[in-house]
Amino acid sequence: MSSGGDDLTDDLFNKIRKYVYQHARISLGENKRELVRARFGKVIRQRKMKGFREYFNWMQNDKSGEALSEVMNAISTNLTSFFRENQHFQYLANTFLPMLAASPEARRGGKIRLRGWSAGCSTGEEVYSIAITLLENIQDHAGWDIKLLATDLDTEVVAHGQRGLFARERLKGVPPAIVKRYFDTAVDDKGKPAYQAKAVLRGLATFRYLNLFTDWPFRNKFNFIFCRNVMIYFDRETQEQLINRFYNLLGPGGHLFIGHSESLSGVTHRFEYAQPTIYVKR
Ligand SMILES: C[S@@+](CC[C@H](N)C(=O)[O-])C[C@H]1O[C@@H](n2cnc3c(N)ncnc32)[C@H](O)[C@@H]1O
């Protein structure tokens, strides 16, 4: 029987770190050895391989994209929740929306155009929280043209988000009236009680696989980008590149929201500071 991970030598560990950095710019520190052992140990056992040596050889030679996707799914940390860092949603409601509604540039063909991106969306709680905030705070829905994009490099979380099916406890902290308005009761694949996002929410959000360190297929500018709790995995140089790409992709007045444990200090950028973890392009 395969042990799944007993042969994680220094050399193999460093090769895996290099592969992950080259493909996703995720910096795995020396202290991530046990994480690598545990996460890959599981896939090695599932693949009935002998250990890390065999897995690494397969991973390196695979040209189909399967290995890349499997490695990224195994290595990514997908922790998220509804209305996480709630002040961002309050800011959207109380500051961002009134500002956009008052902006003549936002009006296209009689409607107010809003484009938002959840970059590193995980299982979708973030983008659905954004969608609920917009729907709750916009009176005249017909007067708005809203599209939200949610992307991640982990294909499993993207599929999860797109389906919009959440275990009941995921919505525990959300007011019951909101749950009722935006979710149907459902059961998951194991027959456990769950909630499914209603069409009104799912219709606003498009989920796509996207590695942030590849070319971006966008033609139009965004009004805001949420990239929260993603940059913590990147080194300064990578963060700087990403922040500057975000800047170029936002229109004037566009906002960038980052996670509360993240900061742009030490990063050279052109954003104006609005509030802690909120930045504006002027
Ligand atoms: C901790 S979750 C954060 C989810 C959500 N933004 C939040 O704050 O609740 C980080 C997500 O970033 C994704 N991620 C990490 N590196 C990425 C990359 N290079 N390109 C795209 N997504 C990435 C991971 O797959 C993971 O789902």
Question: Measured in angstroms, how far is the CA atom of residue 230 from the centroid of ligand 1?
Answer: 5
What residue type is assigned to position 238 of the chain? T
The CATH code of the domain that includes 157 is: 3.40.50.150
Domain boundary among 42, 75, 108: 75
What percent of the chain has pLDDT above 90?
A: 95
Q: How far, in Å, CA of 150 to CA of 120, rounded?
A: 7
Please indicate, yes or no, if residue 5 is contained in any of the structural domains. no
How confident is residue 264, by pLDDT bands cut at 50, 70 and 90? very high
Residues 64 and 175 in one domain: no
| Ligand 1 pocket, mutate which of 22, 32, 76 (most atoms under 8 A from CB) | 76
Residues 34 and 117 in one domain: no
Residues 98 and 151 in one domain: yes
Residues 154 and 217 in one domain: yes
User: According to the model, what pLDDT value does residue 280 have?
Assistant: 98
Residue 141 has pLDDT above 90, yes or no: yes
Residues 132 and 215 in one domain: yes
Please indicate, yes or no, if residue 236 is contained in any of the structural domains. yes
Residues 261 and 137 in one domain: yes
Domain boundary among 20, 50, 75: 75
Q: β-pairing, 165-167 with 250-258?
A: unpaired
User: According to the model, what pLDDT value does residue 144 have?
Assistant: 98
Please indicate, yes or no, if residue 204 is contained in any of the structural domains. yes
Residue 38 has pLDDT above 80, yes or no: yes
Supply the pTM of this predicted model: 0.95
Residues 274 and 169 in one domain: yes
Residues 137 and 195 in one domain: yes
Residues 193 and 122 in one domain: yes
Please indicate, yes or no, if residue 3 is contained in any of the structural domains. no
Q: Structural domain of residue 219, as residue ranges?
A: 87-280
Q: How far, in Å, CA of 181 to CA of 178, rounded?
A: 5
69: its two tokens? 């996707």
- Of the chain, the end-to-end C-alpha distance in Å amounts to 60
Please indicate, yes or no, if residue 52 is contained in any of the structural domains. yes
Task: Considering the candidates 25, 39, 115, 228, report the single residue annotated as catalytic.
Answer: 39
Please indicate, yes or no, if residue 2 is contained in any of the structural domains. no
Long-range contact set of residues 270-275: C-beta below 8 Å, sequence gap at least 24: 270/244, 271/243, 271/247, 274/95, 275/87, 275/91
Domain boundary among 44, 75, 106: 75
Residues 174 and 229 in one domain: yes
Residue 3 has pLDDT above 70, yes or no: no
What percent of the chain has pLDDT above 70?
A: 98
Angle made by CA atoms 22, 27, 30, in degrees to the nearest 5: 120
- pLDDT tens digit string along 185-208? 999 999 999 999 999 999 999 999
The answer to whether the CB of 153 is under 6 A from ligand 1 is yes
Burial call 221-240: b when 16+ CB within 10 Å, e when fewer: ebbbbbbbbbbebbeeebbb
Please indicate, yes or no, if residue 61 is contained in any of the structural domains. yes
Residue 5 has pLDDT above 80, yes or no: no
Task: Considering the candidates 25, 84, 115, 152, report the single residue annotated as catalytic.
Answer: 152
Q: 248 and 140 in contact (C-beta within 8 Å)?
A: no
Q: 57 and 97 in contact (C-beta within 8 Å)?
A: no
Number of domains in the chain: 2
Query: Nearest CA to 17 among 64, 75, 79, 67?
Result: 75
How confident is residue 4, by pLDDT bands cut at 50, 70 and 90? low
- pLDDT tens digit string along 15-29? 999 999 999 999 999
Q: What is the mean pLDDT of residues 138-155?
A: 97
49: its two tokens? 């391989």
Active site annotation includes 11: no
Residue 218 has pLDDT above 80, yes or no: yes
**Residue whose CA is closest, atom 12 of ligand 1?**
120
User: According to the model, what pLDDT value does residue 162 have?
Assistant: 98
The CATH code of the domain that includes 25 is: 1.10.155.10
Specify which residues 220 forms β-bridges with.
none
Residues 59 and 94 in one domain: no
C-beta atoms surrounding 172 within 10 Å: 10
Residue 140 has pLDDT above 50, yes or no: yes
Q: What is the mean pLDDT of residues 2-16?
A: 82
Residues 152 and 197 in one domain: yes
Q: 218 and 251 in contact (C-beta within 8 Å)?
A: no
User: According to the model, what pLDDT value does residue 224 have?
Assistant: 98
Question: Measured in angstroms, how far is the CA atom of residue 165 from the centroid of ligand 1?
Answer: 19
270: its two tokens? 């052109």
Query: Nearest CA to 245 among 232, 227, 260, 228?
Result: 227
